Amino acid sequence: MSRRRLDRGAGLGLGAAMIWFSLLVLIPLAAIVVKAAGGGLATFGHVLTESETRDALLLTVKMSVLVTVVNVVLGTLIAWELVRDRPRRVGGAAGVGEWLWGKVRVVVDLVIDIPFALPTIVAGLVLLSLYGPHSPLGLHWAPTTQKAILVAIAFVTLPFVVRTVQPVLEELDTDVEDAAASLGAARFTVLRRIVLPAVLPAIFAGASLSFARGLSEYGSLVLLSSNSPHRTETVSVRLFAFIEQSNTESAAALATVLLVVALLAILVLDVVQRRVARHG
């Protein structure tokens, strides 16, 4: 597709859009980096090695990695069930079980988006009812255990892998799989050699989004986690405390680390999408 160079009217439009974008995004983000750099490497070292912040970082990374692994496995499984596991009909009629699965599948597809629809603070309140002190299941994880943090991050990141893998699976032609199977390839071999390579970029993209989102989660943890130092305090909660204390140097140093991770996640996404576009 041809793209035009800027004429004068469009130049003004671009200018106005860029001024807004600068005031909203560029200058504020630059302010974080400038503030962090102003303290020099010493501030970085000081903030990141201070034991409470270090523990918060380590905990958040650990929790996000764990949840991302769960999302990769279960998210891919959910996407697979949604796309490939259509209710089976034997001799024109579906059994009761298959009929029921047909209905459940529709509900599953809707439920995946609920974490996107709920405000994070509401997600915290919702999860507190089942995993908090009054849990009907007897699972008193929140607010004092790290399991509560896992549940919160799993909730808010649920849609990412499912929604990146699902469309790729839908586009995937089953002819190649049928051909491989007819040539004698076992079911597992077909999955490993044909399906997996095709969906791997999507899984990777979903995983990177899920990791970045997990690392930056704040709202759902406010109510679900006791946020006690060294044990259940995550990075965003620590960052909020720095801001409340007007400790802007430490806040900026910690925020810079989070920004770099967020940028890396976007970079991964961009590279993967470009590769997929080229091969597709």
Partner 1 sequence: MASLGGRWLRRLIVVGYLWLLVLWPTWYVAKNTLVGGFGAFWDLLRLPEVTSALEVTARVSVIAVAINVVFGVWLSVVLVRYRFPGRRVLSALIDLPLSVSPVVVGLALMLVYSPAYGWFGKPLSSAGVQIVFATPGMVLATCFVTLPLVIREVVPVLEELGEDQEQAARSLGAGTWQTFRRITVPGIRWALVYGLVLSLARALGEFGAVKVVSSRIAGKSMTATTLVEARSQFAPHEAYALSFLLAFAGVVCLVIVALLRSLGEKS
69 binds partner 1 (CB under 8 A): no
> In this chain, which of 120, 164, 166, 225 binds partner 1, going by CB under 8 A?
120
3-class state of residue 15 by DSSP: helix
Which stretch in 41-49, 50-58, 168-176, 257-265 sits in contact with partner 1 by CB under 8 A?
257-265
Q: Please say which residue, 22 or 41, places its beta carbon nearer to partner 1.
A: 22
3-class state of residue 93 by DSSP: strand
231 binds partner 1 (CB under 8 A): no
259 binds partner 1 (CB under 8 A): yes
3-state secondary structure string across 144-212: CCHHHHHHHHHHHHHHHHHHHHHHHHHHCCHHHHHHHHHCCCCHHHHHHHHHHHHHHHHHHHHHHHHHH
38 binds partner 1 (CB under 8 A): no
243: tokens are: 């801001």
**Distance, CA of 26 to CA of 65 (rounded, Å):** 29
Q: Please say which residue, 17 or 41, places its beta carbon nearer to partner 1.
A: 17
185 binds partner 1 (CB under 8 A): no
58 binds partner 1 (CB under 8 A): no
Q: Please say which residue, 7 or 173, places its beta carbon nearer to partner 1.
A: 7
Single-letter residue type at 6: L
**Distance, CA of 171 to CA of 42 (rounded, Å):** 51
Footprint on residues 90-109 left by partner 1 (CB under 8 A): 97, 101, 104, 108
Q: How many residues bind partner 1 (CB under 8 A)?
A: 88
41 binds partner 1 (CB under 8 A): no
255 binds partner 1 (CB under 8 A): yes
3-class state of residue 126 by DSSP: helix
Q: What is the dihedral of CA 33, 39, 45, 47, to 10 degrees?
A: -80
In the complex, the smallest distance separating the C-beta of residue 42 from partner 1, rounded to whole angstroms, is: 20
3-class state of residue 135 by DSSP: coil
> In this chain, which of 203, 215, 278, 279 binds partner 1, going by CB under 8 A?
215
> In this chain, which of 154, 199, 207, 272 binds partner 1, going by CB under 8 A?
154
